[in-house]
Amino acid sequence: MFGSLLLACLFLHLVVSVPQPACRRCCDHLPAPDEAATLSESMPAMPEVRTYINMTILKVGRRKSLHSIDNYQALIFDTIFVNSPEHFDMFAGKYRCQIPGIYFFNVNIHTWNFKETYLHIMQNDSEKAIVYAQPSDRSIMQSQSVMLPLQEGDEVWVRLYKRERENAIYSDDVDIYITFNGYLIKAETE
């Protein structure tokens, strides 16, 4: 402990005692600070940089496996991690946009051995992204993401698509393998 403290003190002494070169900045050609009044009038306004917390945040999951029974079937979730401010309808399995803007959505699923996995991220009735895995002797995790411009009332949801093969996704009561996430990146009014 004492040895590492001694080394830190010696290193700090070297860093502090090394002479630093004079500041050479990109603003050296600007007038001196006493001319600040004329400077602010002659220069264009700097853009405002703001950080903010996205107002719409969504993360839901599903603890039960699902076999597609219809040609088109909404993926219904049973676990809420975050649904702020409650724009996700758990009964319909759909996110309903209340704040127009650019959104990011992501779905994560676990495939089932020897079964096809075929899902779409939907915006209203239009397919926007696909998750597909052919039947295999091993299961894998799959993920798909999409950025979408949404208007008030638009719905985003995950749809299972059944073709001639059995379509299924895996989960269990212990771990949550199926998740759907979304958040507002930029509101339209900004």
The three state secondary structure string of the chain is CHHHHHHHHHHHHHHHHCCCCCCCCCCCCCCCHHHHHHHHHHCCCCCCCCCCCCCCEEEEEECCCEECCCCEEECCCCEEEEEECCCEECCCCEEECCCCEEEEEEEEEEECCCCEEEEEEEECCEEEEEEEECCCCCCCEEEEEEEEEECCCCEEEEEEECCCCCEEEECCCCCCCEEEEEEEEEECCC
Angle at the Cα of 154 (from 94 to 89), degrees rounded to 5? Answer: 25
* 33 in any annotated domain: no
pLDDT of residue 67: 85
pLDDT value, residue 126: 96
pTM of the predicted structure, to 2 decimals? 0.70
139 part of a folded domain: yes
12 located within any domain: no
> What's the domain range around 124?
57-187
Total domains present in the chain: 1
The verdict on residue 22 lying in a domain is no
- pLDDT of res. 155: 97
User: Is 7 a member of any domain?
Assistant: no
Q: Decide if 65 is inside a domain.
A: yes
54: its two tokens? 């996205």
> Which pLDDT value is given to residue 85?
85
pLDDT > 90? residue 79: yes
Q: Which residue has the higher pLDDT, 175 or 29?
A: 175
| 102 assigned to some structural domain | yes
The CA distance from 100 to 94, in Å, is: 16
Q: The domain spanning residue 84 has which CATH number? A: 2.60.120.40
User: Is 147 inside any structural domain?
Assistant: yes
